[in-house]
Amino acid sequence: MNIDRIQFLTVPVSDQAKARDFYVGKLGFALLVEVSGPHGPFVMVGPKGGETGIVLADRPVGDLDHDARVHLQLTTTDVDADIGKLRAQGVEVDDSEEMPWGRVTSLKDPDGNGIGLLEPSGYGNWPR
């Protein structure tokens, strides 16, 4: 496997701005990303100097049920090689697809939790 870090965790929140202010203002996290995305605002916070971010989602994200506890987003240096290795082990994993932030695929853990696997482009390689 070529996974080298956890990029971010998705945390469902009822109010993105209020959650951002709590994580940044109260916990001292850095505001890593705050941009308008195709599904509305994308807000990521994280510990200063850390490599893992927390996405604050006030609505369902992709196929993630808003009531889910977390969505793991992992990065890799070779998503297609990892897909092959996962499939060889009997894991159901989607074909990769090219996105602006890199090549991506998704799978689920044994409990049905979503896992995204990203071979990042420069745009998708935050926070680094």
pLDDT value of residue 78:
95
Contacts of 104 (CB under 8 A, 6+ apart): 79, 96, 97, 116, 117, 118, 119
**Residues 75 and 52: beta-carbon distance below 8 Å:** no
Give φ, ψ of 99 to 5 degrees. Answer: -125, 165
* pTM attached to this predicted model: 0.62
- Quick one: pLDDT at residue 108? 85
23 is written with which tokens? 């994580």
> Residue 58: its pLDDT value, please?
82
Within a 13 Å sphere around the CA of 14, how many CA atoms are in the beta-carbon half? 0
pLDDT of residue 50: 86
All structural domains of the chain? 3-120 (3.10.180.10)
Q: Mean pLDDT, consecutive 10-residue segments, the chain of 128 residues?
A: 89 87 87 87 90 84 58 86 92 93 88 82 64
Which residues, in sequence order, are CB contacts of 106 under 8 Å at separation 6+? 63, 93, 94, 114, 115, 116, 117
CB 65 within 8 A of CB 109: no
pLDDT at 15: 87
